[in-house]
């Protein structure tokens, strides 16, 4: 460790892997957990209590689709009672009438709603769920009526990148305080579908210009967060603010992880909540300490002036592309294999040139991996 270990402030709680949508860009692992492997209500409440004791200030309730948990109101209330800020991340389809209001009454602080497209046809095709777009619009209206602050999340890839101006208009029309233009990061199902999802460089450049102009135009009206695509980057982003530096996530079965894709690193073994406390895992877990701080870094990261800015970038991306979780993130221009990113972009473009290849998604499903047609 090269810096003092501080308490975590943020936590992503993936309450379930179940979801009515089958988005091919999903960051969940390919081996999705079924309902019988999810933590029960009391165990989640115990976990949240320990998280509050540890110093957690905000919990993002996610999945899968977290509203499929019948105890969601109880979980929100438990966090609210401890003064923890709660953000519900939802696909916004299939939410029974009255539940959004019940979430607000239980103490929910914020709702984040994903749209797979700014157009109904795009939303329904990417999510593989007919009528999903209209259901999302209704969820947004109900959230605003219940007095909940609203963020619209737009996961961007080849099939909706030209809709970015429409996403901006959509978020404004729904009264959102915040819009997240989040270029897809390639982990889980998104990595499996990388060739089908990778946008063209020219489209990425156009998108950046559109977002920059909209940010300036909408200052004081709506915040726009822009999550840039790693494969087109010069420098990497700090993964989760830095590996196990100030945040962590918990999978539906209670496995505690530094980030979404951490289990793709075969040399690491991750612990579950229950046998050990959250405080013990945060402080003493060998997997959490593996890439903390800067002491683990190889060159050129070890002597880089950005080492405490990006904290080495994404360890899972290094594993997936370089074959070594301790390697310099290939997204970094200083990586000896940075050119491989351009090669992967080119390979995706060649795959896209195959007739009908853009329809060959491997859709996300529990227990079934659907091969491309």
The 85-90 sheet, strands edge to edge: 223-227, 178-183, 150-156, 110-114, 85-90, 58-62, 10-14, 247-250, 256-257
Distance CA 37, CA 86 (A): 24
Distance CA 165, CA 142 (A): 24
Contact 14, 64 (CB under 8 A): yes
Contact 91, 19 (CB under 8 A): yes
Distance CA 205, CA 227 (A): 13
CB count within 10 Å of CB 368 equals 10
What length does the chain have? 373
Contact 355, 361 (CB under 8 A): no
CB count within 10 Å of CB 371 equals 7
DSSP 186-215: -STHHHHTHHHHPPPHHHHHHHHHHHHHHH
Q: What is the DSSP letter of 327?
A: S
Contact 210, 164 (CB under 8 A): yes
* Sequence ranges of the binding site: 19, 23, 26
* Sequence ranges of the binding site for [4Fe-4S] cluster: 19, 23, 26
Q: What radius of gyration do the chain's Cα atoms show?
A: 20
């Amino acid at each position: 460790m090269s810096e003092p270990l501080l308490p975590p402030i943020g936590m992503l709680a993936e309450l379930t892997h179940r979801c009515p949508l089958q988005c091919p860009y999903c960051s969940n692992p390919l081996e999705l957990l079924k309902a019988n492997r999810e933590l029960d209500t009391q165990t989640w409440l115990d976990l949240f209590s320990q998280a509050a004791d540890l110093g957690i200030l905000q919990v993002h309730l996610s999945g899968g689709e977290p509203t499929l948990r019948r105890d969601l109101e109880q979980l929100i209330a438990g966090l609210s009672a401890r003064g923890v800020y709660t953000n519900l991340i939802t696909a916004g389809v299939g939410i029974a009438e009255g539940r959004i209001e019940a979430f607000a009454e239980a103490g929910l602080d914020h709702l984040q709603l994903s749209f797979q497209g700014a157009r109904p046809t795009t939303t329904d095709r990417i999510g593989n769920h007919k009528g999903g777009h209209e259901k999302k619009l209704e969820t947004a209206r109900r959230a605003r009526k219940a007095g909940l602050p609203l963020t619209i999340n737009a996961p961007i890839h080849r099939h909706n990148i030209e809709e970015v101006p429409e996403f901006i208009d959509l978020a404004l029309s729904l009264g959102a305080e915040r819009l997240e233009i989040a270029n897809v990061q390639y982990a889980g199902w998104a990595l499996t579908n990388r060739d089908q999802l990778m946008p063209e460089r020219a489209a990425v450049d156009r998108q950046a210009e559109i977002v920059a102009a909209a940010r300036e135009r909408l200052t004081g009206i709506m915040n726009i967060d822009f999550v840039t695509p790693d494969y087109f980057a010069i420098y990497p982003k700090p993964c989760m603010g830095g590996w196990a530096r100030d945040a962590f996530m918990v999978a539906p079965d209670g496995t505690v992880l530094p980030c979404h894709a951490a289990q793709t690193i075969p040399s690491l073994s991750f612990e579950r909540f229950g046998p050990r406390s959250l405080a013990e895992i945060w402080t003493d877990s060998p997997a959490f300490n593996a890439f903390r701080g800067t002491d683990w870094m190889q060159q050129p990261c070890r002597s880089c002036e950005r080492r405490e800015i990006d904290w080495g970038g994404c360890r899972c991306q290094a594993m997936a592309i370089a074959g070594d979780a301790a390697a310099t993130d290939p997204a970094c221009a200083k990586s000896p294999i940075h050119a491989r990113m351009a090669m992967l972009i080119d390979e995706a473009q060649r795959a896209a040139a195959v007739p009908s290849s853009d329809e060959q998604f491997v859709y996300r499903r529990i227990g079934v991996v659907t091969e491309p047609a």
